[in-house]
Structure 1
């Protein structure tokens, strides 16, 4: 039997159908790679962030002042996607929490969701053998639902991971900010110095601080840049830190005392969070305990007795 005949015998698909399946799988892989690399924030160093935003402003100024002809980018071809203002706001916040700051990230995310919505049911239809039935319709509907929701689920998972990493690093970061404030550094210098100190063990919080420092250096109001840090992370401990920094900047409250109190409060909240997780462990392991321990134990104890009872009844 030739290799082509063997290939045709697998799942009842012809060679042309297998080629189409492989092509669709390749498209899905390319879409996932776009989600990983195109949305990834470019540049984590503060100097690179400032230079990038400065170049963008220069390009915008040159375009509007000299009226030069502009070329179409890949984002211009995604403007036809049905993206509402609510989607822009919610998906944009989700992308920011997940660490993606690409300007056209929402359009790309919606495009990937739409592509998965169409390609996954097509893959299921090609791999399914037999006539079109209600079972196949249910599979196609489930595949479309999973393809549409999977990218957003992945972003939510990544956002929760980033929030947990930031929440864990806030107490130590606040301690370092206390040391910097006691040495006489200003808020801008504190953000830059602490970000460089914590980069090795908390790169997510360091990138957020450097991005906030870059916003301030590019002319944004300090309270707006700090509010942006709080909105991007959605961490309670960091919200308290931002409020303390804004009050110290606008009203002249003692920064060192506020940071010391905040350091104690953040460590207390971290301890409460750990205790809450420990308290959830018994409820979490109850179901696996019943499935993999109690039921086998009952079978082992009652099994021989049941076998003897069945044999005794059979001899009557």
Structure 2
């Protein structure tokens, strides 16, 4: 009986008949369950839970997004901002470390990614259509001219922010020992911690503007009544440097145990000066290794040309003179 059915299926649908029949039965079963699922009455408890969840999500989104920001960008906030609180916090901190403190910084960042990605993708497609022959172009060529510009445009804001973060960290690290020395002088002269920070910010403005901005921020936050320990911890997160984190720990411990801030600053400032000298010596020791390859590339070829060229010319002349 089964052989007859199998033979009929093969004669009717071909060699793939059994597979087609099984796939068709699966589709029919799926379609038959859809009306049953739609006809089920919703559970009142599920409806209450769904309403509470929607209300909670709306409140959470309202907390995550500030309604006082740019109205044009805020209309598309759900597309220009991460909906996850952790991801939003990470990108905010990244932009703060790059020096972008605007309320619209996150939205502008994702907007630039979208605009540059779509714009360069359209430009690459237009260039491919106008100047590249589709018949002779390979798949690699198509991806290079069409998707390549779009990927570059999408990654350009991220690359720019990362470069800004690294540049800002280098600037803060370079000026931090000088800032500690100035702060130590101000504290030993009788000024308070808040006055010392504000004075150091003014003195560092010309040489290290990024570090001066950080000192001004913590000065304003202290004047606003924010806790000093929290202000200093926020500064260490914005800077993202181990030296600043250690400095914040030293000040918090001095405040907690009631020890002299000037003594703590004196010891830590001396340590920072030593670390700066060590970093300079490390860079100087790396320089000969980096110069070796460049020196060989720029010196050896001209030297070989000067030494070998007369011999080559002489051999060529002798070859021409021979009968």
Fold match, TM over 0.5? yes
Any conservation in 1 of the 2:172–2:208 contact (CA below 8 Å)?
yes
- State the SS of the aligned residue for 1:257: helix
Output the aligned Cα RMSD: 2.8
Q: Which residue of 2 aligns with 1:233?
A: 239
TM-superposed CA distance for 1:294, in Å, is 1.9
Whether the aligned pair in 2 keeps the contact of 1:187 and 1:245 (CA below 8 Å) is no
Partner of 1:250: 256
Give the 3-state SS of the residue equivalent to 1:79 in structure 2: helix
Listed one character per residue, the Cα deviations across residues 4-46 of structure 1 (whole Å, up to 9, x for unaligned) are: xxxxxxxxxxxxxxxxxxxxxxxxxxxxxxxxxxxxxxxxxxx
1 or 2 for the larger relative contact order (CA 8 Å, sep ≥6)?
A: 1
Measure, in 2, the Cα distance between the counterparts of 1:295 and 1:122.
Answer: 45
Task: Write the distance in 2 (CA, Å) between the matches of 1:296 and 1:140.
Answer: 42
Number of residue pairs matched? 250
Return the offset for 1:104. 2.7
After superposition, give the CA deviation of every residue in 1:188-221 in whole Å (9 maximum; x if it has no partner).
2221122122223222211111111222223322
**How far did 1:74 drift?**
2.3
Q: Name the CA shift for 1:105/1:250 in 2 (closer, same or farther; >3 Å).
A: same
Rounded Cα–Cα distance in structure 2 between residues aligned with 1:304 and 1:86: 70
Does 2:171 match 1:165?
Answer: yes
Gap runs ≥5 in structure 1:
1-68
CA deviations over 1:211-254 (Å, ceiling 9, x no partner): 11222223322111101111111223322222222122222121
Structure 1 residues 289 and 71: alpha-carbon distance in aligned structure 2, compared to 1, 3 A threshold = closer
Aligned match of 1:131 in 125, 128, 133?
A: 133
TM score, norm. by length of structure 1: 0.70
CA distance in 1, matches of 2:296, 2:285: 19
Q: Which runs of at least 4 in structure 1 moved beyond 3 Å after TM superposition?
A: 69-73, 84-87, 306-316
- Could you say which structure has the larger radius of gyration? 2
Instruction: After TM superposition, give the deviation of residue 303 of structure 1 in Å.
Output: 3.2
Equivalents in 1 of 2:161, 2:216: separation in Å?
A: 22
Change (3 A) 1:307 1:78: farther
Is the Cα–Cα contact under 8 Å of residues 163 and 234 in structure 1 kept in the other structure? yes
- Which structure 2 residue ranges, 5 or more long, are not aligned? 1-67
In structure 2, distance between residues paired with 1:70 and 1:205: 27
Q: Distance in 2 between matches of 1:72 and 1:196?
A: 35
2:230 corresponds to: 224
Q: Contact 1:178/1:260 (CA < 8 Å) preserved in 2?
A: yes
Other-structure match for 1:120: 120
TM-score by length of 2: 0.69
- Take 2:208 and 2:88, find their aligned partners in 1: how far apart are those partners? 29
